[in-house]
Structure 1
C-alpha cells in the first residue's frame, strides 16, 4: 500500500468515526455513514441489512439504489433471500467478501423491474460487535465486479466501527428505556397508592392494577391471573385502552405449568409468543394476538395463605429492550405486592373500626336501654305486689303483670342483641361460642364437628352470626328447649347445620315465612361470603337450617 493510499484510508476511518458520533438515532446514523462511506470510497450504491437471532432481516438503510431495486416500494430489498443473507444465517460469513452475480439484481433483471445501472456485483461485510453478529453492509458500483484485498480490509474496518456504534446506541437506548420505565413506575405507584383505599375487594384491586398498567405503560396487554380450585383463571385484563371481559375457559396445561414455574422462581420470567397469546386468547376481546411477540410474568403473593397470583404483560415485536422491561417488571411486582398488603391492612382497620363501633353500641345499650328495661321490670313487679296485697283485686294488677312480662321479654331480647353486637367466645372456637350463646338463651345445644382446618376470620364471623340467628329462631318459634349444631369442614367448603325437633311445617311458615327479616339476613350473610343457605321444615321432623360457604385454598 502506498503512503497516499494509507493516508486516504486513515482519513476515511477518521471521517467515518466522526460521522458515527454525530447522532444517537440508529437509522439516521446508518443513512449518514453509508452516504459518507460511498463518497470517500468512490462507490455509488449501498444498503444495510439488520438480521435478528431468528434470521429475519430488514433493510434499515440504503443509498442511491438503482430503479430495479426500488420496484414496488423496494420489494426486492424486503422479500426473498440471497447468498449473503443465507451465509450469515449459517454462520459462515465472518469477513468481507466479493459477491458474484447478486441474486436480487438477477431477479430484478429477470422480472424486468427496471434499470440496474450496470450493477451486477457487490461486496458484503458482516456487521458485528465483539462476537455478536448484527447484520450486513453491502456496497457496489456500476461495472465493478471485484474488490481488492485492501478495499475489503477498509470495508471490514468500517464495519467494525459501525457495529461498535450500533451496540453503543443499543446500550444507550436500553438505558433510556430503563430510565423511562422507572419514571413510569413512580407514577404508577403514586396512582395505585391513591386508589388502593377505594378498592372493596380483591377483584377491584386486580382491575385497578391492570387498568393503571395500561394507563402508565406502553405494554399492549396486561392481565392478572389468580389460582382458583387448583387452576389459574384470568381475574382481570386490560388491552388496547380498555378492560376486557374474561371467559370461563382456563389456560392450557403447558401455560399453567409455566405459571407455577414463575411462582417457584419468585422472579419475573419471559413468556414465549405461544404462552402470551394463550393468556390473551381467553379474554373476550378483538385484540390482534399477532401483535404480541413475547411476554413477562411475575408472582404476586396474596394475603391468603398459599395463594399467589401472577401478573402478565404482553410485549410488542418492536420492543428490543427486554432486559430493561424485565428488570423494571420485577420492581413493579414488588410494588403491587406491597399495595396488596396495604389493602389487607385497610381491611383489618375497617374491621377493627366496625368491631369498636359494635362494642361501643353494645356498651351504650347495656348502660342505658338495658338498665331502663331492668328498672321497668322491677318497678312493674313491685307495683304488682302492692296491688296483689289489697283485699279486692285491683283492675291495674293484670296490666302490671303484662308490663312485667313484656319488660322481661324485652330485657331478654336486648341482652341477645348486645351479645350479637359484641361477640364473645370466638377465641375458643365457633362451636363453643354458639353452644355458650344457646345456653344463654335457655337452650340445650349439642355440637358436632367433622374435618379439621382453620377458617378465615370473615367466614368464621359470618357463620357465627348465622348460627346466632338460627338459635334465636329455635328459641322463639320451635317450641323446644334443645337444638343440634353440626360443623362440617372440607378442603373446598364449610357447612354449618342447625336443627331442631320443634313444630316445623305449616305453623313455622306462619311465623317464619321465606321473606322474613331474620331469614333474609341469614341468606344475605351467606351470599356475601359466596355461599348458599337452605331451610327445610317439616311438622314431623322439625326444622333444619344449612349454610355452605366455599373456602379458599390452604397452604400445606
Structure 2
C-alpha cells in the first residue's frame, strides 16, 4: 500500500523521488517504501537509507515536525557526496512530513526534486494532504488487523471450551471406565487390556489438556515465565528458568516467544526422552533472545533439510515472521539447543 501510494504521489506532482520511514517507539527507523532514488542512495539495497541517523528523523524524535517542512540539506545525501559516490542526480535537499492519524504518529514521508532546495507553501500543503491520507490508511489497516487478532483469539477460546467440555470429558470417562473394568475382573488378560486402555486414555487426556493450554494459555497474563512453567508442569517437565533483563514486550512478540517455547517443550516431551529443560531469556532495549536446551537423545539436524519437522518449521516461521532469527543445534546423544532472537 505504501509503495503504491508513494508512486501515485510522484506521478501526480512535481516531486520526482520519495521514501517513507516507519519509526518505532524505540526511535529506530525502517525504510518501508522508496521510489526513483538516485544511485547513491539506492546502491547496496538502499544501505545509505537504512543505516545511521539523519536530521529529519532526529526532528521527528524531538517532536519538532508539526507540519510539512523544508529540510535544508539531506544528511544522507551529504554523506554520499562526501564519500564521493556518484549518481545523486542533482538532489541535495528534500521536504518532509509526519505520517500520522490524530495524535498517533507512524513515521515520515520524504520527497525531493533535482535542483530544488526549497518547496513552495502550496507544495507543502499538498504534501501534508497526501501524508494525512496515507496516515489514515495506515490506521485503518492497523484497526483491521487488530479486529482479526481479536476474532482469532475468540475462536481459539471457543475451540478450547468445546474441547474441554466434550472430548476432554469423554477421555476422562474412558479413563475411569477402564479403571473400573480392571477392578471388576479376575482374568489377568482382561485386566491387562483394561490397564492398557486406561494408560492410552490417560496419555490422550494429557495431550488434550496440553492442546487446550496451547489454544488458550491461561498463564500468559502473568508473564512468559509463569506461562512456560505452567505448560511444563502439564507435560511433566522440570523447567529451569533463567531471566536476564526486564522489558514491556509487545503482545505479538510475547506470544511468539511463548509459542516457540511451547513447541520446543512439546517436542522435548515427545521425542527427546528428557524430563528437564533449561530456558534462558535475555531482554535488551530493542530485542529479546531465548535459548531452550535439553540433555535428551538429540538428533541429526542434517535430516531437517530433506525431511523438515513440522514443529521445527512452525517455530522457524513464527520467529522469521516476527523479523527475528532462529537456530537449532543438535546431535545424537548430545541433546538439543534451540535459539530465537526477535527485535521489538
Q: For residue 84 of structure 2, what is the aligned residue in structure 1?
A: none
Deviation at 1:466, TM superposition (A): 0.7
Unaligned runs of 5+ in 2: 82-86
8 Å contact 1:233–1:250 — kept in the other structure? no
Q: Contact 1:302–1:309 at 8 Å: present in 2 too? A: no
Q: 1:309 is matched with which residue?
A: 107
Shift of 1:216: 4.6
Closer, same or farther: CA 254–441 of 1 in aligned 2, 3 Å = closer
SS at match of 2:126: helix
Give secondary structure in 2 for the equivalent of 1:289. coil
Structure 1 residues 409 and 327, CA, compared in 2 at 3 Å: closer, same or farther?
Answer: same
Question: Aligned match of 1:499 in 282, 293, 296?
Answer: 293
Shift of 1:277: 9.5
- In the TM superposition, residue 343 of structure 1 has moved relative to its aligned partner by 2.2
User: Quick check: 1:347 aligned with 2:140?
Assistant: no
Determine whether 1:528 maps to 2:321: yes
Q: Residue in 2 aligned with 1:270?
A: 70
Alpha carbons 2:291, 2:338 under 8 Å: kept = yes
5+ residue gaps, structure 1, are: 1-204, 552-556
- C-alpha displacement at 1:522, in angstroms? 1.3
- Structure 1 pair 215–480 and aligned structure 2 pair: CA distance change class (3 A): same
Distance 1:468 1:293, change over 3 A: closer
State the alpha-carbon separation in 2 of the partners of residues 302 and 527 from structure 1.
Answer: 29
Q: Which of 240, 249, 255 in structure 1 is aligned with 2:47?
A: 249
Which residue does the alignment assign to 1:362?
A: 160
What is the DSSP-based 3-state SS (H/G/I as helix, E as strand, rest coil) of the residue aligned with 1:520? helix
User: What residue in structure 1 maps to residue 89 of structure 2?
Assistant: 289
Higher Rg of the two aligned structures: 1
> Whole-Å Cα distance in 2 between the matches of residues 234 and 509 of structure 1?
36
1:378 aligns with 2:172: no
Q: Following TM superposition, by how much is the alpha carbon of 1:459 offset from its aligned partner in structure 2, in angstroms?
A: 1.0
Q: Which has the higher contact order (CA 8 A, sep 6+)?
A: 2
Distance in 2 of aligned mates of 1:529 and 1:293:
36
Indicate how the Cα distance of structure 1 residues 509 and 370 shifts in structure 2: closer, same or farther if over 3 A, else same.
farther
What is the CA distance between 1:376 and its match in structure 2?
2.2
TM-aligned CA distance change 1:403 to 1:231, over 3 Å: closer
Number of the residue aligned with 1:455: 249
Q: Aligned partners of 1:325 and 1:367: how far apart in 2?
A: 63
Q: Give the corresponding residue for 2:199.
A: 405
1:214 maps to what in 2?
10
Shift of 1:438: 0.9
Q: TM-score, normalised by structure 2?
A: 0.80
SS at the partner of 1:502?
A: coil
Q: CA deviation at 1:308?
A: 5.1
Match of 1:471 in 2: 265
Aligned to 1:423: 217
- The 3-state SS of whatever aligns with 1:265 is coil
Aligned residue in 2 for 1:73:
none
Change (3 A) 1:443 1:510: farther
* TM-score, scaled to structure 1: 0.52
Q: Secondary structure of the equivalent of 2:46?
A: coil
Aligned to 1:126: none
- Compared CA separation, residues 333 and 501, structure 1 to 2 (3 A): same
Contact 2:242–2:279 under 8 Å retained in 1: yes
For each residue in 1:60-88, what CA deviation from the matched residue of structure 2 results, as whole angstroms up to 9, or x when unmatched? xxxxxxxxxxxxxxxxxxxxxxxxxxxxx
